[in-house]
Structure 1
Amino acid sequence: MFSPVICESMNSIIATYSAGFALCAALIVVIGAQNLFVLRQGLLRTHVGAVAAFCIAADASLIALGVSGVAAFLKTMPQLTNVLSLGGAAFLAWYAFQAFRRMRHGEAMAVEAGRTQSLGQVLTTLAGFTFLNPHVYLDTVLLMGTAGATHPAPMRPFFIAGAASASACWFLMLAYGARLLTPIFARPVSWRVLDAIVGVTMLAMACMLVFNMAH
């Protein structure tokens, strides 16, 4: 039998871990630029493990930074959000153009086509989606960080662990589960539709960033 003190401590750990997992899961399961890129790499079956690992490590690092106090610091620098918004909008617009170009000219219509990109190129693009997106800092650093900081200091690592676990589950499922859609994407028209969705989504997000910054 465990003592009441140990039971209470275990309950606190489980509750804090679950809070981090639930909050991260609620924020991460959306159709965004990063998720669409991960899905596309999963369909192409290129550098899938590295892509998933990068996203998981980035999320865990940003959440840990937020919980450690960076969230409070960022609240005092609203101008930083404007800088990130401009950079993010330019990056998203560029990628939207690339997606529309692929759709028009029929590039990357086969699974094998994705192997022409090096690991460095893939991770550089992924880094842009991850760190040039202001919503990453608003959701992952500020919101997650503020929520995690409300827990007692000894419990905060368990909050971070829970959030990182949710991130790991999502990106591994997205990256490796994408291959289940391979029969659908054996047809060129499917790649055209995906690139159209990617292009429209990226362009809409770029416009939204600029609009929000202006208002």
Structure 2
Amino acid sequence: MPYVSTFFNGLALCFGLIVAIGSQNAHVLRMGLKREHVGLTVLACIVIDAALIGLGVAGVGTLVQSSPLLLGAARWGGAAFLLWYGLRSWRAVFASAALTVGPAAPRIGARQALASVVALSLLNPHVYLDTVVLLGAIGGNFAPPERPAFALGAMSASALWFCALGYGATRLSGLFARPAAWKWIDGITGTMMLALSASVAFGS
């Protein structure tokens, strides 16, 4: 059945892209480790990815690529945001003690948690390159009747990955209650964000 094959093409391709370390994945992992608004964070990532994949397969990626203004705004705005996030993570390496889990842990509100994941998702140009541009271009090569199957496969991969990452991390929260372990997470996250910022700003 061609639609089944197209579905699994979208599933496999999206898995290959989404598993790579990025700001969105790091944030989901962090929220899972803290056991803080995990469901909201995971749901927001799934909805955002699904919307961008749908737009890409529908042909929006071609329009974005043809606008130097949009590409430039995404590039420099995203680089600035990733730089700020990386510096904030490194500051936490020297300021944080341990990850507190349980009723005594300081918690952020649902609105702040949602704003954080939306910003980390939509202000990172790599998200658009992976979903709107790359997946959109490949999905657009399929015959029009097969495109929904490709998009559904890619969306399914996103949903499976974020659920596994967010809820899987909750089982590791006890390990990261130790100060040294949490400082490692902050340091790795900060380094990764700074590297992504440089890649976005100065990459080809």
Fold in common (TM above 0.5): yes
2:50 and 2:155 in contact (8 A); partners too: yes
- Which AA in structure 1 matches 2:139? G
Shift of 1:182: 2.1
- Which AA in structure 2 matches 1:34? Q
User: For 1:56-95, what aligned pairs fall within 5 Å after superposition?
Assistant: 56-95=46-85
CA distance in 2, matches of 1:128, 1:66: 20
Comparing 135-144 and 74-83, the one that deviates more: 74-83
- Which AA in structure 1 matches 2:180? V
Give TM-score, length-normalised by structure 2. Answer: 0.93
Q: Look up the match of 2:43.
A: 53
Could you tell me the percent identity over the aligned residues? 44
2:98 and 2:177 in contact (8 A); partners too: no
Q: Does 1:179 align with 2:155?
A: no
Deviation per residue, 1:28-60 (Å, 9 max, x gap): 001111100000000001110111111111111
Uncovered stretches (5+) of structure 2, i.e. residues with no partner: none
Deviation per residue, 1:94-123 (Å, 9 max, x gap): 112221222211156312476521111122
Q: Does 1:19 align with 2:9?
A: yes
Greater fraction helix: 1
CA distance in 1, matches of 2:55, 2:98: 37
Count of residue pairs brought into register by the alignment: 203
Give TM-score, length-normalised by structure 1. Answer: 0.89
User: For 1:1-215, what aligned pairs fall within 5 Å after superposition?
Assistant: 11-106=1-96, 109-112=99-102, 115-212=106-203
Give the structure with higher Rg (CA): 1
Deviating above 4 A after TM superposition, structure 1's stretches of 4 or more consecutive aligned residues are 112-115
CA distance in 2, matches of 1:15, 1:205: 34
